[in-house]
C-alpha cells in the first residue's frame, strides 16, 4: 500500500503543515508573527490561517502579506495589488504584488517570525513561489526566522519536465534554475533555494519547514482528501492545473489560452484559427495522455474579448502519461506552422515562461524539436539528482 492511503480507492488523510501547526507551538510562543497567505490558506476544518494563529496562546499576529491575486484571490493575473487593512481581522496587509515584490525591512521591523502558507500548482512560472523566496530572502537579511507550512504539489511530486531556466531569462515568473514542472512541494523547494545558495548575495535563511503528514510523492491532489480551493481565478480545478505547465505558453502569443471563459487553459483559439486543420494535425502527433476536439468560444476578457474564436478543446486521457510542457510546445509549433501570416509572438514573455529562447528560435527556424526535448531530459535528470537531498517525502 502506498504510504498515506487509508485503503485501496480511498482518499488519504493528508494533513498540511497548517493542520499540524498546533504541535509546533514552541516555534511561535511569545512571538510576533507575520503571515504570508491568501484564500487557499485553510486547514482541514475550514479555518483560515489567521484565525488559527490568533487563537494560539501567547502568539501575536501583527501583519499579513498578500501575493498576486490578493489576499482573497479575486484579482486577475498581472493586476497590481495595493496594501490595505484587512476588514476581517483589522490587520495591515502588505501587498507583495504591487509596487514591490519583496518585504522591506520596515515591514518586518515588528515581526519576529515570518510564516508562509499558500497552495501552489507545481509549475515554475506560478508567482507564489517567488513571493515565498523573496520573503525568505528578506527575512534572512534582517535575521528573522522563516517558516513554511507545507502543502501538496497538486500534480504530484514525481514527474519532472521542461527546460531548466537560464539565468538570462530570470523574472518574477521564474527566478531559479529549475524545470517548468519541478516535482517538489513548496517546503522542499524552499529548502533547495536556501541550500543551493540561490538567495541574493548568498544569504542563508533561518528556515523551518513544518511538513505534511500522510502525503506521498505519487499522490495527485484528488488523492489527498483535501478540498481543492482554486489557487487563482483561472485555475478552477485539478485538470486545469494538470494542463497548465504547457498551455500557459500561449500567454506568450496572440492566441487566447481560454482566459475569460469557463475553461481557461483547457481550450485555446483565435478568430482566424483554422481549427479543423489544426485539430487534425495535433491528433496525428499522438501526444501521450491528451486528445483534441474543435470548439468555439467568446472570451469575456483578455485576448480577443467579445470575439468568436475558432478553437481547440483539450481532454486529458491519461494524466500519468501526459507531458504537459511538450504538449504546449507542440501546440505552439503547430499554430505557427499553419498560421505564419496571423500568428504573433510576445517573444520576451514566451522566452521568460520557457526560461530560454531556444524553443522559440527552433520553432521559427522550423528545426526539429526532438533534440531540444532530449536536452531537456538530460537537464531534468541532473536536477532530479540535485533535489534528492531536499526531499521530505517518500514515493
Looking up residue 322, the CATH number of its domain turns out to be 3.90.1150.140
Residue 388 lies in a domain: no
Residue 199 sits in a domain of what CATH number? Answer: 3.40.50.12170
Q: How far is CA 303 from CA 63, 296, 376, 392, in A?
A: 37, 14, 30, 41
Q: Report the candidate in 199, 159, 156 with the shortest Cα–Cα distance to residue 176.
A: 199
98 burial type by CB count under 10 A (0-12 exposed, 13-18 middle, 19+ buried): middle
Asked whether residue 122 is domain-assigned, the answer is: yes
Pair (194, 279) in one structural domain:
no
Quick check: is 180 in a domain? no
Q: pTM, whole model, 2 decimals?
A: 0.93
252 and 364 housed in the same domain = yes
Note down pLDDT in tens along the chain; length 395 residues: 233 333 345 567 999 999 999 999 899 999 999 999 999 999 999 999 999 999 999 999 999 999 988 787 666 766 777 788 888 888 999 999 988 999 999 999 999 999 999 999 999 999 999 999 999 999 999 999 999 999 999 999 999 999 999 999 999 999 999 999 999 999 999 999 999 999 999 999 999 999 999 999 999 999 999 999 999 999 999 999 999 999 999 999 999 999 999 999 999 999 999 999 999 999 999 999 999 999 999 999 999 999 999 999 999 999 999 999 999 999 999 999 999 999 999 999 999 999 999 999 999 999 999 888 888 999 999 999 999 999 999 98
pLDDT at 360: 98
Do both 193 and 272 map to the same domain?
no
With respect to residue 15, please indicate whether it lies within any of the assigned structural domains.
no
Let me know whether 196 and 307 are in one domain. Answer: no
Q: Could you tell me if residue 384 is inside a domain?
A: no
Domain count of the chain?
2
Is residue 244 domain-resident? yes
Q: Does one domain contain both 189 and 299?
A: no
Instruction: Give the whole-angstrom CA distance, residue 334 versus residue 312.
Output: 12
**CA atoms of 286 and 358, how far apart (whole Å):** 24
Contact, 345 vs 252, CB < 8 A?
yes
80 and 202 co-located in one domain: yes
Beta strands in the chain (DSSP E): 31-37, 59-66, 84-85, 92-95, 113-117, 145-149, 207-210, 267-270, 290-297, 309-316
Q: Do 273 and 347 share a structural domain?
A: yes
Which DSSP symbol is given to 335? H
Residue 12, in any domain of the structure:
no
Q: What local confidence, expressed as pLDDT, does residue 74 receive?
A: 66
Residues 70 and 201 in one domain: yes
C-alpha cell at 291: 486528445
Residue 165 forms part of a structural domain: no
Degrees to nearest 5, angle at CA 295 with 294 and 296 = 145
One domain, residues 80 and 191:
yes
- Domain hosting 285: range is 238-376
Place of cell 483534441: 292
**Which of helix, strand or coil describes residue 21?**
helix
Amino acid at each position: 500500500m502506498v504510504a498515506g492511503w487509508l485503503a485501496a480507492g480511498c482518499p488519504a488523510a493528508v494533513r498540511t503543515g497548517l493542520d499540524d501547526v498546533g504541535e509546533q507551538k514552541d516555534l511561535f510562543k511569545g512571538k510576533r508573527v507575520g503571515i504570508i497567505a491568501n484564500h487557499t490558506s485553510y486547514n482541514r476544518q475550514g479555518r483560515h490561517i489567521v484565525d488559527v494563529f490568533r487563537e494560539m496562546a501567547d502568539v501575536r499576529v501583527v501583519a499579513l502579506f498578500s501575493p498576486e491575486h490578493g489576499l482573497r484571490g479575486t484579482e486577475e493575473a498581472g493586476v497590481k495589488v495595493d496594501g490595505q487593512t484587512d476588514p476581517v481581522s483589522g490587520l495591515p496587509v502588505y501587498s507583495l504584488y504591487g509596487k514591490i515584490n519583496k518585504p522591506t525591512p520596515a515591514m518586518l521591523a515588528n515581526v519576529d517570525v515570518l510564516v508562509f502558507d499558500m497552495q501552489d500548482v507545481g509549475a515554475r512560472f506560478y508567482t507564489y513561489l517567488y513571493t515565498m523566496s523573496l520573503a525568505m530572502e528578506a527575512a534572512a537579511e534582517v535575521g528573522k526566522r522563516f517558516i513554511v507550512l507545507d502543502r501538496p504539489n497538486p500534480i504530484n511530486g514525481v514527474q519532472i519536465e521542461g527546460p531548466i531556466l537560464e539565468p538570462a531569462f530570470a523574472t518574477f515568473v521564474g527566478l531559479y534554475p529549475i524545470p517548468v514542472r519541478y516535482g517538489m512541494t513548496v517546503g522542499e523547494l524552499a529548502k533547495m533555494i536556501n541550500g543551493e545558495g540561490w538567495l541574493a548575495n548568498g544569504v542563508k535563511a533561518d528556515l523551518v519547514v513544518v511538513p505534511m503528514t500522510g502525503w506521498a510523492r505519487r499522490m495527485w491532489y484528488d488523492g489527498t482528501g483535501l478540498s481543492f480551493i482554486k489557487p487563482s481565478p483561472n485555475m478552477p480545478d485539478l485538470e486545469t492545473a494538470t494542463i497548465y505547465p504547457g498551455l500557459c505558453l500561449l500567454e506568450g502569443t496572440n492566441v487566447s489560452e481560454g482566459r475569460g471563459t469557463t475553461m481557461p487553459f483547457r481550450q485555446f483559439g483565435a478568430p482566424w484559427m483554422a481549427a479543423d486543420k489544426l485539430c487534425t494535425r495535433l491528433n496525428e502527433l499522438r501526444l501521450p495522455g491528451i486528445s483534441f476536439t474543435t470548439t468555439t468560444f467568446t472570451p469575456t476578457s483578455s485576448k480577443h474579448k467579445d470575439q468568436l474564436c475558432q478553437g481547440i478543446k483539450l481532454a486529458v486521457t491519461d494524466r500519468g502519461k501526459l507531458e504537459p510542457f511538450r504538449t504546449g510546445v507542440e501546440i505552439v509549433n503547430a499554430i505557427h506552422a499553419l498560421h505564419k501570416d496571423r500568428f504573433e509572438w510576445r517573444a520576451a514573455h514566451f522566452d521568460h515562461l520557457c526560461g530560454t529562447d531556444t524553443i522559440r528560435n527552433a520553432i521559427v527556424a522550423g528545426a526539429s524539436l526532438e533534440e531540444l526535448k532530449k536536452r531537456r531530459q538530460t537537464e531534468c535528470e541532473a536536477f532530479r539528482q540535485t533535489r534528492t537531498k531536499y526531499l521530505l517525502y517518500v514515493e
